[in-house]
Amino acid sequence: MIQAYISGTGGYVPPEIVTNDALVRDYGVETSHEWIVQRTGIEARRFAEAGVGTADLAAHAAREALADARLAPHQLDLILFATLSPDYAFPGSGVLLQRALGLTSGPDAKFIPALDLRNQCSGFLYGLATANAWVRSGAAKHVLLVGAETHSAALDFSARGRTVSSLFGDGAGAVIVSATADDRGVRGCYLGADGSEAETLCQRVWDIKQRPFIPLDADGNGKVDPAHLWAHMDGRMVFKHAITRMTEVLGRACDDQRVALADIDLFFFHQANLRINQYLAESLHLPAEKVPHNIERYGNTTAATIPLLLAECARDGRLRRGMKIALTAFGSGFTWGAAILDW
């Protein structure tokens, strides 16, 4: 029977480190290091420079994942790109990544499908479920799954937006999901959604129901109300639902796989807020050493958090072959998911 396993990991963050103090000093955000750390655990994040887009960040992470898997781009059969900050409204960033990897010209051109996923913070897990299905069905042998975000271009650094702008950073994480005959890899993926809370965490920069979809002024220039231009979040509501749904879906995954929490070597939680993850770990009685985190250095990179953390832990030796791991995430939509893997 064909199984799907992660054969390579990669991660990339832009070089500019923006500390909490730099948010105040250089970006004019009316906050403080202490305020941000107390509520989120975040001490710094990375911002891409002007002219660098989401597909650019993804390409760095993808090349690292390919090298780790000892594959060339033309050996891929599918690209899955998870992001809430695509380079354009359309086309999707998947085709831009395909082009950046050299798959659209030259002797190694290969016009493989590229699929974009818009499941925000749960995007990587929705992508993992998709990659797993393609590989196990025999439709693909090697799938590139990337989560990448360039949040810094769309953050409100005024006092009005400080509770959101202090959370997010730029970065990319990538994995190669490959076929194997060995008894290893993705044991199960479990997904969920609740659209009744769709506007609790959203960015309605346009409304396609309106004519035109962006209001125009007297000169025909588009004008977007700040309430729609910037991301909106009811933090308390998100915290409450995140704890509930992540606990539920992780329990469902363990029950379905007949795995006890104590049998899992490492837990990779979406890096949205360190306080959420600490609360979740404490409520499940998980040892701190089993719950790695990097949000204090990178902030919330949305679809990139889990693959970026996987790459980091694989690189420094915390994540080793033969380990049993659990992944779980919650985000806008609301959407959520979990997965159990034998690494």
How would DSSP label each residue in 185-247?
EEEEEEEEE-GGGTTTEE--S--TTSSSSS-B-TTS-B---HHHHS-EE-HHHHHHHHHHHHH
Q: DSSP 3-state assignment of 285?
A: coil
Residue 11 has pLDDT above 90, yes or no: yes
Instruction: Considering only CA atoms, give the Rg of the chain.
Output: 20
Task: Find out whether the peptide bond into 334 is cis, omega within 30 degrees of 0.
Answer: yes
pLDDT tens-place string over residues 121-154: 999 999 999 999 999 999 999 999 999 999 999 9
- In sequence order, what are the beta bridge partners of 337? 191, 329
- Catalytic (active-site) positions: 121, 270, 300
- Stretch 220-248: mean pLDDT, rounded? 91
User: Nearest Cα to 230, choosing from 209, 207, 204?
Assistant: 204
Q: Which two tokens stand for residue 201?
A: 């965490």
Residue 268: what pLDDT? Answer: 98
pLDDT value for 161 = 86
**Does residue 227 surpass a pLDDT of 90?**
no
Per-residue pLDDT at 249: 97
Q: How confident is the model at residue 163, as a pLDDT?
A: 86
Spell out the domains of the chain, with CATH numbers in brackets.
3-183 (3.40.47.10), 186-198+231-342 (3.40.47.10)
Confidence class of residue 162 from pLDDT cuts 50, 70 and 90?
confident
> Encoding tokens for residue 281?
């770990």
Residue 232 has pLDDT above 90, yes or no: no
Q: Tell me: pLDDT of 308 over 90.
A: yes
Please give the model's pTM, rounded to 2 decimal places: 0.97
In the chain, the DSSP E strands lie at 3-12, 16-19, 44-47, 78-82, 114-117, 142-149, 171-180, 185-193, 201-202, 232-233, 266-269, 324-331, 335-342
